[in-house]
A and B are shown apart, each in its own frame.
Chain A
């Protein structure tokens, strides 16, 4: 049995005490993130954790990594900027389903098509919990909330199909029903060279419905590796993703076996090409002076 590990989960845990509701799924998610980061082994000062607004977006504060609790829905563009400014950083972005698929929904497509090397973790609880229980983009049709007293008339966004359709290279789902599996999935996502998306079904203990709590999630969960799913098969992944909301498939839906170059790598390559024919700094002014 070998077990040499430079970093331990506790090295990524800050002194700030989480103020989520007791029983919230996000406690397990942050624990899974600590463990995944320890397994990856990058020191906390080489990690940047960016979030939007919402209960789950508090997560950077509970880690010892660099953190930026940004504005609603804007975790991804800011994470992208950080990655491009300092490509050596390991960049994680996190938020809830409202933050990611409502106000921030427009950003996901662009990070995916650029293939920015960040890991995006969405804590999907199908409700706006921080603002006391309004419909979110992933709330099920018919769901009764304070903003839908007679039941929602809207179809929910399917986060898994959404990112698969845009061509994300790594798509997975996890849940606090299986902490070990979640830590392993997050680790694999972080190690993936490119945009990685992990949807975590994280129950809201205060505004979530009974079926969305741990017991209910366990009843519908199924491990993708146990059913023989091949994560290199994108179409099979899309087929399975259609069961979002009915079944809880856990594990990797899709992992591009031949990851394309990341945008940050292409930028560096372009910079290197252009710098070959570039004028020395002291001669740049000459470009603007008429001879």
Chain B
């Protein structure tokens, strides 16, 4: 059975490893979404999801570097089996022929979800350093939301029509 995260016993090393794994899962999901968009000839959404994957990878690398500086090569005790769609967009957020706006809204929903995860975990944390890290990660999610919102604001005004109304059914596979 996959182990669940025991927030009360989380050490700083565990917390950093967990944060890296969360970013890693999100990066992989965005790459999957980009591949799905390529498959359905939706290059704008694919480009945006690839950009998100790069951002998640960059953030993950920064956290991995911090972990490495503090704890070197100590074997991690947390695994990917403990991480379930914390910052990764849910699979049902993707749609065939997504517009850039829909893609950005999916990313925004994921950032909101990740923020909620860190907020929900805070009361259970016992270690002050872990708490500080989670607060930092929580605040970063707010910054990420602001970045996505800024990108959304750059898009031309919404027509008010549903994009789904203009979508053909997928071709037979």
Residues on A facing B (Cβ under 8 Å): 1-3, 5, 8-9, 17-19, 21-25, 27-28, 31, 35, 38-39, 55, 130-132, 176, 179-180, 183-184, 187-188, 203, 205-206, 213-214
Question: Do A184 and B2 touch (CB < 8 A)?
Answer: yes
Of all chain A residues, the one with the shortest Cβ separation from B90 is: A214
Complex alpha-carbon distance, A9 and B80, angstroms: 8
Q: Which single residue of chain A is at the shortest CB-CB distance from B85?
A: A179
Q: Which residues of B contact A (CB under 8 A)?
A: 1-3, 6, 9-10, 14, 32-33, 35-37, 39-40, 76-82, 84-85, 90-96, 98, 169-170, 172-173
The 20 sampled A-B contact pairs (Cβ below 8 Å) are A2-B3, A3-B79, A8-B79, A9-B80, A18-B36, A22-B40, A22-B96, A23-B95, A28-B92, A35-B81, A39-B2, A130-B173, A131-B172, A132-B169, A176-B91, A176-B92, A179-B85, A187-B1, A187-B2, A206-B96
When the two chains form the complex, which single residue of A19, A25, A180 contacts B173, counting CB atoms closer than 8 Å?
A: A19
Q: Is there an interface contact between A19 and B39, defined as CB atoms closer than 8 Å?
A: yes
Instruction: Across the interface, name the chain A residue whose C-beta is closest to B35.
Output: A17
Closest to A24 in B: B91
Q: Name the residue on B nearest A214 (C-beta).
A: B92
A53 to chain B, nearest CB (A): 12
Asked if residues B6 and A1 are in contact (CB atoms below 8 Å), the reply is yes
Find out whether the CB atom of B1 lies under 8 angstroms from the CB atom of A22.
Answer: no
Known A-B contacts: A1-B6, A19-B173, A205-B95. Give 14 more (CB < 8 A).
A5-B81, A8-B79, A9-B80, A18-B36, A22-B94, A25-B91, A39-B81, A55-B173, A130-B172, A176-B92, A180-B2, A205-B92, A206-B96, A213-B92
Given A23-B91, A27-B32: A132 in contact with B2 (beta carbons within 8 A): no
Q: Name the residue on A nearest B11 (C-beta).
A: A1
Nearest CB on A from B1, distance (A): 6
Q: Are A184 and B1 in contact (CB under 8 A)?
A: yes
A16 CB to nearest B CB, Å: 11
- Whether the pair B92, A5 counts as a contact (CB closer than 8 A) is no
4 pairs of A and B residues whose beta carbons are closest in the complex: A22-B94, A27-B91, A3-B79, A180-B84
By a CB distance below 8 angstroms, the chain B residues around A28 are 91-92
What residues on B are CB-neighbors of A183 within 8 Å?
Answer: 2, 84
Contact (Cβ within 8 A) A38 B81: yes
* Smallest beta-carbon distance B47→chain A, Å: 15
Cβ–Cβ < 8 Å partners of A187 in chain B: 1-2
Q: How far is the CB of A32 from chain B (nearest CB, A)?
A: 10
> Which residues does chain B contribute within 8 Å of A205, judged by CB atoms?
92, 95-96
Q: A3-B82, A206-B170 are contacts. A23–B3 as well, Cβ < 8 Å?
A: no
B33 is contacted by which of A22, A184, A213 (Cβ under 8 Å)?
A: A22
Interfacial chain A residues near B93, Cβ < 8 Å: 23
Residues of B within 8 A of A38 (CB): 81
For A5, what are the chain B residues with a Cβ–Cβ distance below 8 Å? 79, 81
Cβ of A179: which chain B residues have Cβ within 8 Å of it? 84-85
Given contacts A132-B169, A184-B2, contact A3 B78 (CB under 8 A): yes
Q: Determine if B91 and A8 form an interchain contact, defined as CB atoms under 8 angstroms apart.
A: no
Complex Cα spacing A35 to B78, Å: 15
What is the bound-complex CA distance between A214 and B109, given in angstroms?
A: 15
Q: How distant is the Cα of A134 from the Cα of B10 in the complex, in angstroms?
A: 51
Q: Which of A8, A21, A55 has the most CB of B within 10 A?
A: A21
- B9 partner residues in chain A, CB cutoff 8 A: 1
